[in-house]
Amino acid sequence: MIKRRALISVSDKTGIIAFARGLVAQGIEIISTGGTKATLEQEGIPTIPIEEVTDFPEMMDGRVKTLHPKIHGGLLGRRDLTSHMEAMEVHGIQPIDIVCVNLYPFKETILQEGVTKEQAIENIDIGGPSMLRSAAKNHEFVTVVVDPKDYTQVLTEVSKIGETTLPTRQKLAAKVFRHTAAYDALIAEYLTDSVGEKDPETLTLTYDLKQILRYGENSHQQAVFYQTALPVSFSIANAKQLHGKELSYNNIKDADAAIRISREFDQPAVVAVKHMNPCGIGIGATIKAAYQYAYEADPVSIFGGIIVLNREVDSEIAGKMHQLFLEIIIAPSFSEEAFKILSSKKNLRLMTLDFSKKDQAREDEKVSVLGGLLVQNQDIVEEKVENWQVVTKRQPTEEELKALEFAWKTVKHVKSNAIVVTNNHQTLGIGAGQMNRVGSVQIAIEQAGGKVSEAVLASDAFFPMGDSVEYAGENGIKAIIQPGGSIKDQESIEMADKYGIAMVFTDIRHFRH
């Protein structure tokens, strides 16, 4: 009687000793290779060396050891076909019933600081994926295990009924193909980037499950949160949650928007977001001043919002935020006393994020549409004030220019049509997502109220006619920043001159849909 065999070759040796012992206890022989074989034998687990099966030595620094008919024939041979079994007998191929393989650590290698391309290439596994795919293809007869989390289930079934059930083998095979597809996608991405290919003929993406969400945008929708296989340090996916209930779908989107906005500022800054639009942004000499400005920008809309601070939260700021209903607070850190104050609210999410990595978060944006995917690079562009053009008779004052810079950094993060009214340290009015630009202007100016006389206005795209500028002038706006580029630019310029407004063209549009 031919004994049952398992082939074990793993880079991640988590749980492998107990798994191998369990198989041996069920009378299953272990075939193994290299480091795995040494690990098992060191623990007293008998193994059959791979070269004894193949009658061929490992070679080329281990690049060639399992790519052999006596291995793949043992994996791929159908036990229900006489022709297959006869071929195996003629060629001395013994069936392999269980394959336990995980792959060279390619991902872990390329995440290391200073890794060379040669090191990355040497960690591309060839034999491992080949064995996994062979075994998974033949899952009607072969059990294939790629994840240590599945060891217990496999051992339980083998000990109870002598083999795994077909449903288990089907699930494990599906996991294998997901695993090898993700592995290959990561390699494809690395090599594609290394040769500077910008628009490949196919786009291979891989993400890791981070969280199954309670529901999606609405309670009747299901949702799951995946993060990139190569983690992005400055992202909501990589933020560390210290306290509070789990994040929701809308929380994640709002937090992402707030984090993106906070990236604009090096000085102490506080960003409050509601429904993916900023409702208050403040900058200051201290984080306390910045928080006060952000709060005062819109003390009504901040209710139920998300706040990102780019400096540590101390007890004084924590005390002020404690008075509000907030969903999430994100900061580099919380002082011990601040955490104690804020964590008294059991549902408030407190999260930390490494702001030193903010300039490294430059991955492409991907947006799904029915039947497809839109991909673009982020709206990150170096803009220099000296390249802006003043197109009106009046030049902006130094104070107005500072305010225009602040307004321009802000407006790019507001949903189009976007208008913001600010001074040099605080948003005063925000008009977002209106179907016509003058509507956004009216909303922003109305929200700014009596502070308009000390404010400037930014528009994410050009004014299609002079009505928006006229409304701004009638309500006291003294400086405007916009991209320019309309066939009716002159109409807007003349209207600005009529009201003594200084107007600056940037020649760069910042639509955000």
pLDDT mean over 428-434:
94
**With bands split at pLDDT 50, 70 and 90, how would you rate the model's confidence at 90?**
confident
Digit-coded pLDDT (tens) for 375-416: 998 888 888 888 999 999 999 999 999 999 999 999 999 999
Mean pLDDT of the chain: 93
For residue 158, what pLDDT is reported?
95
Q: Cα–chain-centroid distance for residue 336? A: 29
**With bands split at pLDDT 50, 70 and 90, how would you rate the model's confidence at 65?**
low
**With bands split at pLDDT 50, 70 and 90, how would you rate the model's confidence at 466?**
very high
Which contiguous run of DSSP H or E holds residue 129?
helix 127-137
Is the pLDDT reported for residue 276 higher than 60?
yes
For residue 240, what pLDDT is reported?
97
Alpha helices in 226-277 (DSSP H): 249-262
For residue 400, what pLDDT is reported?
96
Alpha helices in 360-418 (DSSP H): 398-411
The C-alpha atoms of residue 16 and residue 27 are separated, in whole angstroms, by: 17
Strands 29-32 and 48-49: parallel
Bin 451: left if φ > 0, else alpha if -120 < ψ < 50, else beta.
alpha
**With bands split at pLDDT 50, 70 and 90, how would you rate the model's confidence at 71?**
confident
pLDDT mean over 104-109:
91
CA angle 340, 273, 383 (to 5 degrees): 120
Write out the catalytic residue numbers.
Answer: 137, 275
Digit-coded pLDDT (tens) for 225-254: 999 999 899 999 999 999 999 999 999 999
The C-alpha atoms of residue 190 and residue 188 are separated, in whole angstroms, by: 5
For residue 68, what pLDDT is reported?
84
Taking alpha carbons only, the member of 274, 275, 293, 273 closest to residue 283 is 293
User: If DSSP codes are grouped into helix, strand and coil, which group holds residue 32?
Assistant: strand
Beta-carbon contacts of 162 under 8 Å, excluding residues fewer than 6 positions away, are 26
Per DSSP (E only), the strands in 360-501 are 365-369, 372-376, 389-390, 419-422, 427-431, 456-459, 479-482
- Beta bridge partners, 31, equal 7, 48
Is the pLDDT reported for residue 444 higher than 70?
yes
| C-alpha count within 13 angstroms, C-beta hemisphere, residue 370 | 0
How deeply is 260 buried, as exposed, middle or buried, from its count of CB atoms within 10 A (0-12, 13-18, 19+)? buried
Q: Which two tokens stand for residue 404?
A: 């225009």
**With bands split at pLDDT 50, 70 and 90, how would you rate the model's confidence at 85?**
confident
Is the pLDDT reported for residue 60 higher than 90?
no
| Edge-to-edge strand list for the sheet holding 5-9 | 48-49, 29-32, 5-9, 98-101, 143-145
